[in-house]
Every structure is written in structure tokens, then in C-alpha cells.
Amino acid sequence: MADAIYGGATIEATQNDMVRQLQSTMKGYQRQLFHDGVYAVVTLMANDDSQRENPGQEDGEEGTLEKTEQPRKCYIFCPERDRVRLFEELDHKTAAPLIPAFQDYVLASLQKRGNLRQLEVISQKEQIDAWTLDLEPDDKNVMMPGSKQAFYV
């Protein structure tokens, strides 16, 4: 099943008379594989949109990461209802250093504007929250309105 999802297949599942359809993105996931005897457990986590790579000018020259002028989408996974961990993960995803004293304000502001949205998690064992974070170029939507060098929303 994990290989089908990792390969970009469309998966349909029924749970409690509700049909859900997952349209996966080919190779758009981090894959972790664990073995327990004859059983294997695979965890797939959606990749963040990355900065695009600028290929080298000459043969043999390595490409460099270049800032992109496009918005990007990030995914955040944290323990269920753990706002402190959510804020820490948000801080790791953004270039703007966030001040922990403003955690509640930052999270509420991003959610109110629709930049931080909670996803539905369906799991029989794991108790996690999943979030999607939409970032504007240079993480401008995480900056304090009206400030060029703000450290929080």
C-alpha cells in the first residue's frame, strides 16, 4: 500500500460508510520503514514545497538553492493538542524567528487568516495533529503587519 501511495496512485477507502479518496503525489513523501519480525510498518509524511534549485552554470558546478518568489506549503506533524510543539515546529519551518511569549497570538493570527489549517487525521493507533502552513515569499505572512524585520505575526 505504501509503495502505491508513494508512486502516485489514487487510493479509495471506506470507513463508517464514508468513502474517502486519496490522490497522492508521486514521490512527494518522506518514507520511514520499520520491521517487526515478518511485519513491516511504513510511515509516509508529505514533503514541504522546497526552494527550487538553481542548476550550475558550467559542467561540474553544483546547483545552489535560490530564493523563490513563489508561495510554498509546509506540513507540520505534532502530538495531538500540543500547542507548544506546534509553535516549535512552526518556528522551524519559517525564516522569521518567532518569540515564544507570543505563541498564542501567532497561532491564532495564522489560523484566522487561513495560513495555518488543521488537517483531519485518521488513525487507529497514532494520536497526532497534522497542519498545513501556507507561506508567502520571504515568509511575509509570518511577519508583523507593517514591519520589515518583525519577529512574529
Indicate if 104 and 143 belong to the same structural domain.
yes
What are 12-38's pLDDT values in tens digits? 888 888 998 888 889 888 888 888 888
pLDDT in the model for residue 146: 54
* Helices 103-112 & 83-93 angle (0-180, nearest 10): 70
In a domain, 62, yes or no: no
Average pLDDT, the chain: 81
Whether the pLDDT of residue 106 is over 70: the answer is: yes
3-class SS letters over the chain = CHHHHHCCCEEEEEECCEEEEEECCCCCEEEEEEEECCEEEEEEEECCCCCCEECCCCCCCCCEECCCCCCEEEEEEEECCCHHHHHHHHHHHCCCCCCHHHHHHHHHHHHHCCCEEEECCCCCCCCEEEEEEEECHHHHHHCCCCCCCCCCC
Query: Is 9 a domain residue?
Result: yes
Whether residue 66 lies inside any domain: the answer is no
Query: Does residue 150 share a domain with residue 75?
Result: yes
Question: What pTM does this model have?
Answer: 0.71
**Shared-domain flag, residues 85 and 151:** yes
Q: Do 84 and 131 reside in the same domain of the chain?
A: yes
Average pLDDT score over residue span 122-142: 87
Q: Is 55 part of a structural domain of the chain?
A: no
Residues 38 and 82 in one domain: no
Tally of domains within the chain: 2
Kindly tell me if the per-residue pLDDT of 10 is higher than 80.
Answer: yes
Q: Give the pLDDT score at 63.
A: 47
Domain that holds residue 40: 1-47
**Any domain includes 6:** yes
Q: Is 19 part of a structural domain of the chain?
A: yes
Instruction: Write down the pLDDT at residue 51.
Output: 52
Instruction: Decide if 63 is inside a domain.
Output: no
Residue 108: band (very low, low, confident or very high) from pLDDT cuts 50, 70, 90: very high
pLDDT in tens, 47-74: 888 754 444 444 445 544 455 578 889 9
Does residue 2 lie in a domain region?
Answer: yes
